[in-house]
Amino acid sequence: METVRLGLFGLTHPHARAHLKTLQRTPLVAEIVLYDEDAAVVSSTRAELGDKVVAAYSDLDQALAEGRIDGAVACFRNDLNGRLCTRLLEAGLHVLSEKPIAPSAAEMEPLVELAAARGLKLGVMYQNRFHPASVDARRMVCDGVIGRPTSCEARMITSQVRFRDPGHWLFDAALSGGGILSWLGCHYIDLLCVLMGDEVAEVSAIVDTLSGEDIDVEDVGSVSLRFRSGAIGSLQVGYQLVFSKEGYMGPNYDAYMAVRGTAGRIWWNPVERPPVLHAESVSEAWSAAPARSQEYNLPQVDAYGGAYGVAYVERFVRSTYGDGEPPATGADALHVARVVEAAYESSRTGRRIRLLPRTGT
């Protein structure tokens, strides 16, 4: 089994420690190199979570020159992450980036082109694709269980901004690039595209800041989607739940996913424990049991996304040594970014926004 030495670039991001735990969990990552410009954070992280860590740096040039790294996890603040990915790709490294990769599609597109030109893999952490319920739902759609897909629906409502530190850079548009639609709704936009096996062609949306907190990004939004096939979809997002633990890792969630077609429907709650996937179908293959439910006993794994998050990173690692493509590519992230920006434009102008078809980028 081939193994790699990966660098984790950025240790203060909300997901950084979870990413480090994920890298430590997979046997495909033999060694880990850490980088952050804050030397104290580098030192404390290595002391606390030093398993597999063979080197740690607070100088980026030194890390790239001396680290002997095969690939990197890019985990900087949104406004800085695109420039980091550029440096990593220019250094010849495969990159698995935190979403959204960069705060705008305009900044993201050259990264996708750079990776392609250098023959490098650029992936993004849309690990919900690997949730077993997501995988089975997509398989059923492909198998024709629900017939021709005609609509889809997603909901991602979480705890109010006041529980999440309104002063965090996530709520500063100049640093984050957007609010809940960009930060959390992106996962659900991506997953709807995966389930439908399609791309978004038109967007109509209303987003607003209604929490009363001193922030300049949207905290609630309603988005309508038209796919290339003609199917339609909807997404509701909001920082709106009134009960929560304090801190980034403590929020509550109210979530839902569904896809419907001419012969049935599939639906589930992505954050339910244990998750249960429900399906109904009038197809002949399901005539003996037209309504079915599948419960998933997910193992408790201390990693970003749990066991399926580890599997997601392993798929990316395998892609770096010639085994297929990353589980979600930079081009996938670029499409999501264009959908998000179309939603913002639609809300601002009151118009439905059409997206150009995806190309090589």
**In a domain? residue 94:** yes
CA dist 231 and 227 (Å) reads 5
Q: Are residues 161 and 275 in the same domain?
A: yes
Residue 306 lies inside a defined structural domain of this protein: no
- Dig out the tokens for 103 from the structure: 């705060």
Let me know whether 82 and 213 are in one domain: no
117 lies in the same domain as 149: no
Q: Are residues 112 and 203 in the same domain?
A: no
The verdict on 186 and 283 lying in the same domain is: yes
Which residues does residue 241 pair with via DSSP β-bridges, in sequence order?
159
Instruction: pLDDT tens for the chain, 361 residues: list them.
Output: 689 999 999 999 999 999 999 999 999 999 999 999 999 999 999 999 999 999 999 999 999 999 999 999 999 999 999 999 999 999 999 999 999 999 999 999 999 999 999 999 999 999 999 999 999 999 999 999 999 999 999 999 999 999 999 999 999 999 999 999 999 999 999 999 999 999 999 999 999 999 999 999 999 999 999 999 999 999 999 999 999 887 666 689 999 999 999 999 999 999 999 999 999 999 999 999 999 999 999 999 999 999 999 999 999 999 999 999 999 999 999 999 999 999 999 999 999 999 999 875 4
Any idea what the CATH number is for the domain that residue 199 is in? 3.30.360.10
Question: 250-294: per-residue pLDDT in tens?
Answer: 689 999 999 999 999 999 999 999 999 999 999 999 999 999 999
Q: Is the N-terminal amide bond of 100 cis, ω within 30° of 0?
A: yes
> From CA 42, how far away is CA 153, in angstroms rounded?
42
Secondary structure class of 76 (helix, strand, coil): coil
The verdict on residue 359 lying in a domain is: no
Q: How far apart, in whole angstroms, are the C-alpha atoms of residue 319 and residue 281? A: 36
State the total domains in the chain: 2
The 10s digit of each residue's pLDDT in 286-320 is 999 999 999 999 999 999 999 999 999 999 999 99
84 Cβ neighbours under 8 A, 6+ residues apart: 9, 10, 74, 76
Q: Is residue 361 part of a domain?
A: no
Q: Which of 222, 221, 228 is nearest to 196 (CA)?
A: 228
How confident is the model at residue 246, as a pLDDT? 77
pLDDT at 1: 63
List the domain range (segments joined by +) for residue 109: 4-124+314-328
Is the same domain home to 175 and 267? yes
Taken as a whole, the chain contains a residue count of 361
Per-residue HEC secondary structure of 139-188 comes to HHHHCCCCCCEEEEEEEEEEECHHHCCCCCHHHCHHHHCCCHHHHCHHHH
Q: Are 205 and 106 contained in the same domain?
A: no
Examine residue 303 and state whether it is found in any structural domain, yes or no: no
pLDDT number for residue 251: 83
- Position 248 in a domain: yes
Do 251 and 242 touch, CB atoms closer than 8 A? no
- Confirm whether 238 is domain-assigned: yes
CATH of residue 23's domain is: 3.40.50.720
Give pLDDT, residue 132: 97
Helix (H, G, I), strand (E, B) or coil at 105: helix
Classified as helix, coil or strand, 233 is strand
> Rounded distance, CA 360 to CA 255, Å?
32
Same domain, 350 and 320: no
Q: Given this model, what pLDDT does residue 150 score?
A: 98
Q: Are 87 and 140 in a shared domain?
A: no
Same domain, yes or no, for 93 and 198? no
**Are 61 and 181 in a shared domain?**
no
Q: Tokens representing 105?
A: 């599609």
Is 165 found in the same domain as 101? no
307 in a domain, yes or no?
no
CA distance 79 to 107: 10
